[in-house]
Amino acid sequence: RQGRLRALVSRPTRTRDGVEIRLQANLELAEDVELAKINGAHGVGLYRTEFLYMNRSDLPDEEEHLADYSAMLAALDGRPLTIRTLDLGVDKHCEALARPGSNVSNPALGLRAIRLCLKEPELFRPQVRAILRASALGPVRLMLPLVTSVHELDRALAIIAELKRQLDRDGLAYDDAMPVGAMIEVPSAALTARAIARRMDFLSIGTNDLIQYTLATDRLDDAVNDLFDPAHPAILRLIQLTIEAGRALNVPVGMCGEMAGDPRFTRLLLGMGLREFSMQPGALLDIKEILLDSDVGALARRAERLFAQIDELDSSDLLSAFESV
Ligand code: PEP
Ligand code: MG
| Complex-level ipTM | 0.99
- Taking only the tens place, the pLDDT of each residue in 59-83 is 999 999 999 999 999 999 999 999 9
For residue 291, count CB atoms less than 10 angstroms from its CB and return exposed for 0-12, middle for 13-18, buried for 19 or more: buried
| Mean pLDDT of the chain, nearest integer | 94
Annotated catalytic residue, options 66, 184, 256, 283: 256
From the CA of 277, the nearest ligand is 1
Per-residue pLDDT at 105: 80
Is residue 214 in contact with ligand 1, taking CB distance under 6 Å? no
Give the tens place of pLDDT for each residue, 292-311. Answer: 999 999 999 999 999 999 99
**185 Cβ closer than 6 Å to some ligand 1 atom:** yes
d(CA 243, CA 264): 19
pLDDT at position 100 is 45
CB within 8 Å of 324: residues ≥ 6 apart: none
**Residue bearing the CA closest to ligand 1, atom 9:** 48
- In 221-324, which ranges are continuous DSSP H helix? 233-249, 266-271, 284-292, 296-307, 315-323
Give CA torsion, residues 43, 272, 18, 203, to 10 deg. -30
> Is the CB of 254 inside a 6 Å radius of any atom of ligand 1?
no
Substitution candidate for ligand 1 out of 87, 115, 205, 228 with most atoms within 8 A of CB: 87
Angle between helices 62-76 and 121-134 (to 10 degrees): 30
Q: Nearest residue CA, atom 8 of ligand 1?
A: 208
Q: What is the pLDDT of residue 287?
A: 98
- pLDDT level of residue 145 (50, 70, 90 thresholds): very high
What pLDDT score was predicted for residue 55?
A: 85
Share of the chain above pLDDT 70, in %: 97
Ligand 1 contacts CB of residue 152 (under 6 A): no
Mutate-to-test residue for ligand 1 from 114, 209, 235, highest number of ligand atoms within 8 A of CB: 209
Whether 256 is catalytic is: yes
Among 63-72, 99-108, 167-176, 184-193, where is mean pLDDT lowest?
99-108
| d(C-alpha 228, C-alpha 286), whole Å | 22
SS3 46: strand
User: pLDDT tens digit string along 196-251?
Assistant: 999 999 999 999 999 999 999 999 999 999 999 999 999 999 999 999 999 999 99
- Phi, psi angle pair for 312, to nearest 5°: -90, -10
